[in-house]
Chains A and B, each alone.
Chain A
Amino acid sequence: DVKVTQSSRYLVKRTGEKVFLECVQDMDHENMFWYRQDPGLGLRLIYFSYDVKMKEKGDIPEGYSVSREKKERFSLILESASTNQTSMYLCASSLRDEKLFFGSGTQLSVL
């Protein structure tokens, strides 16, 4: 089975801190994604990557950056965390034109 692993289930950070969310997949998938999920707003795409060192902005990239140095790992970076970035963050991966496999999510609270 495909496994997408997110490094933390829960994370509490302070405003202004730099935050790294890590995601690893074990099925050699080309595509990786970062979404955030908020009540009433659904899933919104932050960034995605279709190859190593390649990235594209999603619908809400402001305040975020990403890094994909290796095929299996996709990192989401909050350069200076703000309270409005408190959310559930979901990582996903897929083969080209195939279904998304999601991790279990990281609930980030920014105080």
Chain B
Amino acid sequence: TQLLEQSPQFLSIQEGENLTVYCNSSSVFSSLQWYRQEPGEGPVLLVTVVTGGEVKKLKRLTFQFGDARKDSSLHITAAQPGDTGLYLCAGARGSNYKLTFGKGTLLTVNP
């Protein structure tokens, strides 16, 4: 079973700060997805990265896929309370049938 390790597990910051969440593995993935889950809801897909070295931006969120396709990072600029949630990375090998999920990073942004 491939493992995806996310760090940090918990993160509590003040509004306006920047942060980076990491997702690391010893396995190669064909693609990697990032989800955000708010309390009482299911995860919602933010982005999929496919190519090694790829960088995608979604407003204040920047996602990067490592050159070797084994790791990824999520950087949030000027965090806002609305960014609060559980951030999950998930890796796919060939298809989405059996995604491997990380355990998540619980982010709290305090006003």
Contacts and interface: CB of A to CB of B under 8 A. Distances in A.
Interface of A: 4, 9, 31, 35, 40-45, 48, 50, 56, 58-59, 90, 92, 94, 96-105
Interface residues of B, number: 21
A90 B40 CA distance: 11
B41 A105 contact: yes
Contacts of A50: 97
Contacts of B42: 4, 90, 92, 102-105
Contacts of A101: 45
Interface of B: 1, 33, 35, 40-45, 48, 88, 90, 95-99, 101-104
A38 to B, nearest CB: 10
A99 B45 contact: yes
A59 B100 CA distance: 10
B99 A104 contact: no
A102 B44 CA distance: 7
Given A4-B42, A104-B41, A31 B103 contact: no
A48 B97 CA distance: 7
Contacts of B48: 99
Nearest to B47: A99
Contact of B101 (A42, A48, A96): A42
B96 A42 contact: no
Contacts of A43: 43, 88, 90, 101
